[in-house]
Each structure stands twice: as C-alpha cells, then as structure tokens.
Amino acid sequence: MRTVKGTGMNSLSRPAIASVAALLASAVSFLPQPAFAQDANTPIELTLQNSFIETYKDRVTISGIDFTVDQVHSHPNPASQDGDLHAAGRSDSVGLPFVAEIMNARDEPALVKRLNDLQGSSQTIKLTGVWRIWPEHGGISPQVQGADVQPATTTNPPHLFEVHPITQLGNVDVRDTLHGIDGYKYKDASDASQRYEAVAYELDCASKITTLHTKMVGFNYVDFAIQLSEDPTHVVDDGVSVLASILAGDDGDQLVYKRRIWFVKDSEPYKKVMTLHTGDQLHVLGIPRVDLSLISWRCKQAKTRPEVRSWNLPYEMVAVGLL
C-alpha cells in the first residue's frame, strides 16, 4: 500500500488531529472493504470432525440442513463474473462459517427474493446442495468445526465450506440451474489441473478430529473433458461417482489420470454420464473440492505409512454442466 505524505500535521493540536482521524475513518468506512487479506502463500488450517468426514466422504450433496441467512447479494453476479448468487450464513449441521450459492441465479428470481427476505432474520430455510470444502476463501485464522459461528457481516466471509451449487431451497428443486454459464470465461483445464496437482497438503489425524493444512487455491468452473476409466456403477442415493482421466478438451491430451468425478442425481450431467461406458468421453463444466474419502483413507493408513499425511492435495471434481 502506498503511503501519502501530508504536510503541516505537527502544527495541529491533538483534538484537531483526532477530528481529522475520525473524519478519515468515517470516509473509509464507506469504501468497499475486502472480507480478508489472503494470497497463494497464506497458510490455511481447517479442523473437521471425523464423524462428518465419514458421513459425507461418499456423498455428493448435503441434504435438508436448516440454513440461517445472514447476508445475501441483492442481485446475482453478472454472467461475466460467474452468474452465481452468494448467501452467507450458518447451520448447526455444518458447524462452520459457509456460503451457499445458486448457479445461474438469474433463472431463479423468486428464490433470489426469498433469500433476501430471509436475510438477517431468525427464520431458517431447508437447504440441499453440493457440499464443498476448498481452500479458496479461508482467511488467515484456523477454522474448527463445531466452534461458535458468529453471524456473517459480508456475503464473502472467511470460509472453507460451501454449499455450491444449491440443488434445492425450501421445497423448490433447482437442479436445472446446473448448466453452462453463458457469458462466463471458464478456467482452462490444463492451467487448473497444474495448480491443483501442485498444492502441498498436510494432515494431522486424531481419533475424533482431522486437521487439514494447505495453501490457497481457487480456480472454479473449469472447462474439461473426461474419459471414463470404469462404468458409472458407484451409484449412491444422491448421485454417482466415476473414476476418469481428465483431458484438455474433447480428444485432448490427458492431464490427470484417474480422478474421481461426481454427478448430482437427476441433473443433466448425471443423466448423460449414466448412458456411458468405460472409455467414453464427456465434455463438462466442473468445480473442484477436497476429497474426503481420500482424507479418510490417508488417516487410516498414517499409523503404518506416515508419509501419506503429506501427499499433495486430495481433490475431486463435481460436474455441474454439460459443454
């Protein structure tokens, strides 16, 4: 930050200096303020309950949680900035500060209004969507699941947990919002995969909790293709997962070998992948998240193979649109 040098301050009395400072502070309060300062070298620390890891490690969504809406955008982001609507809030079922996001939110004006009507009230709404842990907006303080969560004062508080995208809000199913974002420039598959694969990771494994140590990485909404390494037979009640190679576009170079890809039940990507077989390709829009199944496995192996605790970022992808 640049320092602007003033003149004549030594000639002012202390009350005058205090008045100037108060005036400056008041003016600054009206300027847009970042929720937190963070860069790619900021250490990120998250402690999760092992019971939570085991519950959600083989699920694509978190279902029917009571969501208290603290802060919400009055309007969706423009398509050039991803088209999402962000709502920051709390839920005892999560136990962490988090943000819930509707994809292609301009398709759902009634739900945008509903969330805005709930903002700041004590009334909750049932929320279902893709759970997502990702070191993108972690802030500079450790986050511990189950610690007291204060009401959010911004739509983008420091958070490592998201429900993104929302698939149902109240009794309204919004899985049809899981499609391409017209007007948004997607992240490049080659660039994204290099970033994900290079992120350092460290696990502290205990009997009831696991602590994740890593650094910031963003890169949402990636344009990539997959080549199935198996038939889509790993069906669970809220979707299906497949192991697949990640390609740089249709018939492109292989970027990642055998990564787990999730599909939300009855979404368009789900309907399509369920028609495919080993070796088939599919072009999708995806978002990354931490793979809780790999975290669980690494901690179980750590007693005899301590090196697994420091293997690189365990991540998986969720297909949120067809391209």
- The helix, strand and coil proportions of the chain, stated in percent and rounded to the nearest 5, come to 25, 35, 40
Average pLDDT over residues 202-221: 94
Q: Which pair of tokens denotes residue 42? A: 């900021």
Domains identified in the chain and CATH numbers? 43-177 (2.40.50), 187-199+218-322 (2.40.50)
This prediction has a pTM of 0.87
Return all residues near 26 (Cβ < 8 A) that are at least 6 apart: none
Question: How far are the Cα atoms of 205, 220, 284 from residue 181, in angstroms, in the given order?
Answer: 39, 12, 12
The predicted-structure confidence for 167-211, as pLDDT tens digits, reads as follows: 999 999 999 999 999 999 999 999 999 999 999 899 999 999 999
* Main-chain dihedrals φ then ψ at residue 199, nearest 5 degrees: -75, 125
Per-residue pLDDT tens for 145-161? 999 999 999 999 999 99
Q: What percent of the chain has pLDDT over 90?
A: 82
DSSP type of residue 310: G
